Structure 1
Amino acid sequence: MAIANGEELLETLVESIEEGVMVADRSGRVLFANRSIRGQLGLGEEVRLGNVCGVNLLVAVTRGQIDAGFDDAVSRRQVGFVDIEQVFQVEGAARHYRIRTGLARRGDGSEVRLLLFRDITHVKQLEAKIAQEGEGELIGRDARMREVIQQIHQVAGTAAYVLLQGESGTGKSMLARLLHRLSARAARPFVEINCAAIPESLLESELFGHVRGAFTGAANERPGRFTAAQRGTLFLDEVGEIPLHLQAKLLRAVQDKAFEPVGTNRTQSVDVRIVSASNRLLKDAVESRLFRADLYYRLAVFPIHIPPLRSRKADIPLFIARILERLAARGYPQVSLGDAALRMLLDYPWPGNVRELENAVEHAVICAVNGCIEPLSLPQDVRAYHGEAPALPHPRSTASRSNEQLRGQILFALKRCEGSKSATAKMLGMDRVTLWRQMRKLGMTTG
């Protein structure tokens, strides 16, 4: 469709831009839509604002006018432009747009509505990803997790050092960020370092910085993470992996708030609050003489234990719903969750906790069958744990099927726990004696 009254030059210009452009008459009939918006929304020849990919833009614009202060937006003529945000479903995926719209008068005196579309899907996807860090991701029905959140609120306003302990994937990093946001240091830096991910030879320099020429390759002076976190919060993730010879220097930095960068005797003072985290009990490392007791008691002024996901079954449906919402915001198709798949997700022990659940749900959405997550949509680990049989199994007794499923679960847990009977029993929610009896009953090696 071309704009009437000899506006071919304007049409050529508008067709060349990336932003979407529409022009509609007062009744909502679209007189012109440029190539960009037609391609993005898959529009046909005849388009009306009352039905653009199933969305009534006339109603959306009216709401935008009211929000902008046009109390009588239906009967009064709009003056100026308003901005609205609108989501369209295009080929099963959500596309987010910021639309700037207003009225313009043409040469013949008639009025048309101009609509300028800017695709902000990538911005919304980024916001959805950042939203994972929010407090809402940590709150559920489980009383122990609510107690953890309450403890975070209690200690945030103090200067106390906090030690977060829990299995990998339980949300220690999110809790550390929440604590920082609730503290008086919220406007200052939050600096995170994973002590297990830094090579031992570089960890000292990473923490405390170095001067030029301190070691081969140190061409320039470089501040460390302590300096970067000045007057803010330093999050030492996997603090238990710091080697013993560095723990003495860390103890001085924690205790005296002073240290020397690598390659110099010049003492540097620092004001940071330290939040530490470990996926194992540091007290056990202290007893094994792998972690200094004096450093442990300095870091663990306020210890917080985070329960694993397998002990928070009631929270799993809430997490799944939130994950599905975030995936839809990132452009994934909207799907439903079948009852059989939900039961399998609830029964799985989740050794990787929330992080593994997020990956499993994303996998399931990709493999959904006709818009529904079925058992076959779930990752192999989840299906293997439940001893998923072929679609047409041979008839067999209920007891036999139950024994085979239990055997599969034990074998799976043993593999994930690298043969540790204690960890296997914990993953399966039983004590070690019960595990031994079950293995003996099934004719499995118990040595």
Structure 2
Amino acid sequence: MTKQNKFDFAPLAKTVIQYIDEGIIVADQLGKILFYNNAVKKLLDIKEDTELEKLNDIGKFNLQKSLLRAAIDSGEVDAAGKPSGNFVTFEERIKHGDTYKVIEITSGLISDTDSKDRKRLLLFSDKTDSHHIQSVLNPSGAKLSSKDPQMLEIISRIQQIAPTNAFTLLQGESGTGKTQLARLTHNQSQRSKEAFIEVNCAAIPDALLESELFGHIKGAFTGASSDRLGRFQSANKGTLFLDEVGEIPLHLQAKLLRAIQEQEFEMVGSDKTIKVDVRIIAASNKNLRDMVDSGKFRADLYYRLAVIALTVPSLRDRPGDIPVLIEHFCAQLCDRGYPNNMKCNQDSMRMMMDYPWPGNVRELENAVEHGIICAKDGIVFPESLPQDIREYCSDMNTYIKISDDEENTINEIQNAMQSCNGNKAEAAKILGVNRTTLWRWIQKYNISV
């Protein structure tokens, strides 16, 4: 019998482990760290001369607490509510200078041949780059789908600015996805675990807007029967999204500027100053720079909000996104119980590609649901689509001789557009029609805008 060579692998294994990129920690079940390699400190931004002793006091977060939360989220807890020991994987965001790292952590209990007690093994991997790329190509957390270069550029820019506290202004027509972009910015920020508070400034009467934003104390005005916190306080440590910020009246803009710039304000009826830590993301379907020039919006407030200014393109300017979004909305509707085998007739798809979508992505989403509901035998035909789309395409395909009355209509449209500097929403109000009708007229009569 040949005598086998005995070789102690442990020293070699420890040496190899010290030089790999992935971090490794071995701890007992009470959280005392027994072993770790050099990569752990690098991944978690821990100073080299720091000794790691306990999982509940490592780097910039409590690993013991994170492990319990991950076990609960994945259902890997025993009857007593303790981690079962099965392997779980979760992510932690680690502050890294002015940005952050995304660290993937896998942990579970392993057997040790020299002891009856099992040890906890933790593996750490840096997923920051792949996380950012995935967010750009498939930002599902914000319910965005796009293949358009303009939109992908905007999403990519958001990846850069999200980890900072820079105020952001999103401009574009209603329904282009500004709210989803605001949520994406928050979700990718260091404030993602804090509140995202949304205020639609256009939906709140002027008389109530100040109280809505800053809160009020009991007796501040008739009907103020108790103290009420405002949205700024609710968003403390998180993000406040001011949608349609251009609708805030001038007399309130000065107080808003101070609250944004100094991060402090007084509740309505109080002289006590309240301090907050809030990141502001604002959005508007109007061009705020034009409103500044016309005296309808404060210049100092505009420049404070527009540290990062992004203009979101309308859907008609990115027609390549229409099939992508249709597929996306079909999948969402399927999750809500709609049929999952629907097909779009070639003519109906052409009609949706030709339609100018004055309501943008929001209108497209409604049209997709309308088409699925009115489909025949699982197929969306032209007659399954909403009336606005059918009428628009019918007008486009029909030669119409322009009468004297229509000449007057064209002149009225041109005059309204000129008086509003090309703002179609305002022109539609002047003409007493909705935006879809105005779009149909513009296309029908080939009116230059």
Q: In which range does the TM-score fall when normalised by the shorter chain?
A: 0.5 to 0.7
TM-score norm. by structure 2 comes to 0.60
Once the two structures are TM-superposed, the CA of residue 333 in structure 1 deviates from its matched residue by: 2.1
Q: Which amino acid aligns with 1:420?
A: M
Letter in 2 for 1:150: S
Alignment of 1:173-188 (within 5 A): 173-188=179-194
Letter in 2 for 1:158: T
Letter in 1 for 2:399: N
Structure-2 separation of matches of 1:186 and 1:344: 40
Alpha-carbon offset, residue 302 of structure 1:
0.4
Change (3 A) 1:386 1:152: same
Which amino acid in 2 is paired with 1:347?
Answer: D
Aligned to 1:362: 369
Question: In the alignment, is residue 134 of structure 1 matched against residue 140 of structure 2?
Answer: yes
- 3-state DSSP class of the match of 2:222? coil
- Residue 383 (str. 1) matches residue 390 (str. 2): yes
Task: Select 2:399's aligned residue among 388, 393, 403.
Answer: 403
Deviation at 1:387, TM superposition (A): 1.4
Query: Aligned-pair distance for 1:412?
Result: 12
Kindly, what percent of the aligned residue pairs are identical? 52
Q: CA contact under 8 A between 2:201 and 2:209: conserved in structure 1?
A: yes
Q: Partners of 1:331 and 1:414 in 2: how far apart? A: 48
Q: Distance in 2 between matches of 1:417 and 1:328?
A: 43
SS, match of residue 310 in structure 2: strand
* Count of paired positions: 293
Residue 334 of structure 2: aligned partner: 328
Q: Distance in 2 between matches of 1:187 and 1:163?
A: 22
User: Paired residue for 1:289?
Assistant: 295
Distance (Å, rounded) in 1 between the aligned partners of 2:411 and 2:361: 21
What are the equivalent positions in structure 2 for 1:266-281 lying under 5 Å apart?
266-281=272-287
The DSSP-based 3-state class of the residue aligned with 1:403 is coil
Query: 1:255: which partner in 2?
Result: 261
CA distance in 1, matches of 2:444, 2:325: 33
Q: Tell me how far apart the structure 2 counterparts of residues 205 and 185 of structure 1 sit (CA, whole Å).
A: 25
Alpha carbons 2:172, 2:178 under 8 Å: kept:
yes
2:163 is the alignment partner of 1:157: yes
1:332: Cα distance to partner? Answer: 1.3
- After superposing on structure 2, the runs of 4+ consecutive aligned residues of structure 1 that deviate more than 6 Å are 410-418, 424-428, 434-437
Corresponding residue number in structure 1 for 2:307: 301
Conserved 8 A contact 2:414-2:447: no
Post-superposition CA distance 1:288-330 (Å, at most 9, x none): 1000000000000000110000011111001001111111221
Q: Residue 276 of structure 1 contacts residue 299 of structure 1 at CA under 8 Å; is this kept in 2?
A: yes
Structure of higher RCO (CA pairs closer than 8 Å, 6+ residues apart) = 1
Give the aligned residue type for 1:322.
Answer: H
Cα shift readout 1:194-238 (whole Å, capped 9, x = no counterpart): 000001000000000000000001000001000000010000000
Shift in Å at residue 153 of structure 1? 0.6
| Residue 148, structure 1, aligned to residue 154, structure 2 | yes
Change in Cα spacing, 1:406 to 1:345, as seen in structure 2 (3 Å) is farther
- Tell me the secondary structure at the aligned position of residue 203 of structure 2: coil
1:340 maps to what in 2?
Answer: 347
- Residue by residue over 1:344-397, the C-alpha shift from the partner in whole angstroms, topping out at 9 and shown as x without a partner, is 0000000000000000110111110221000000000001111169xxxxxxxx
Q: Distance in 2 between matches of 1:415 and 1:374?
A: 35
Contact 2:410–2:447 (CA under 8 A) maintained in structure 1: no
Distance of aligned partners of 1:298 and 1:405 in 2 relative to their CA distance in 1, 3 Å threshold: farther
Structure 1 residue runs of 5 or longer lacking an equivalent are: 1-131, 390-400, 429-433, 441-445
Whole-angstrom CA distance in 1 between matches of 2:446 and 2:287: 28
User: What secondary structure does 2:338 align onto?
Assistant: coil
* SS, match of residue 307 in structure 1: coil
Match of 2:379 in 1: 372
What amino acid does structure 2 have at the position aligned with 1:280?
K
The correspondence of residues 198-237 of structure 1 with structure 2, limited to 5 A, is 198-237=204-243
The alpha carbon displacement at 1:155 in A equals: 0.5
Q: After superposition, give the CA deviation of every residue in 1:160-215 in whole Å (9 maximum; x if it has no partner).
A: 10000011001111111110011111111111100000010000000000000000
Q: Out of 194, 201, 205, which is 1:195 matched to?
A: 201
> Which letter maps to 1:235?
F
Structure 1 CA distance for aligned equivalents of residues 225 and 171 of structure 2: 38
8 Å contact kept, 1:327–1:362: yes
1:136 Cα offset (Å): 6.6
- Structure 1 residues 237 and 438, CA gap change in structure 2 (3 angstroms): closer
Specify whether residues 406 and 237 from structure 1 end up closer, same or farther in structure 2 by C-alpha distance, changes over 3 A only.
farther
Q: Deviations over 1:251-281 (max 9, x none)?
A: 1101111100000111111110000000111
2:417 corresponds to which letter in structure 1?
S
Shift of residue 406, structure 1, vs aligned partner: 11
Tell me: CA distance 1:220–1:411, structure 2 relative to 1, closer, same or farther (3 Å).
farther
Q: Is the 8 A contact 2:168 2:281 kept in 1?
A: yes
Give distance in 2, aligned partners of 1:278 and 1:210. 26
For 2:282, what is the secondary structure of its paired residue? strand
Q: Is the 8 A contact 1:414 1:424 kept in 2?
A: no
Q: Which amino acid aligns with 2:175?
A: G
Letter in 2 for 1:177: R
| Deviations 1:37-72, CA, capped at 9 Å, x for gaps | xxxxxxxxxxxxxxxxxxxxxxxxxxxxxxxxxxxx
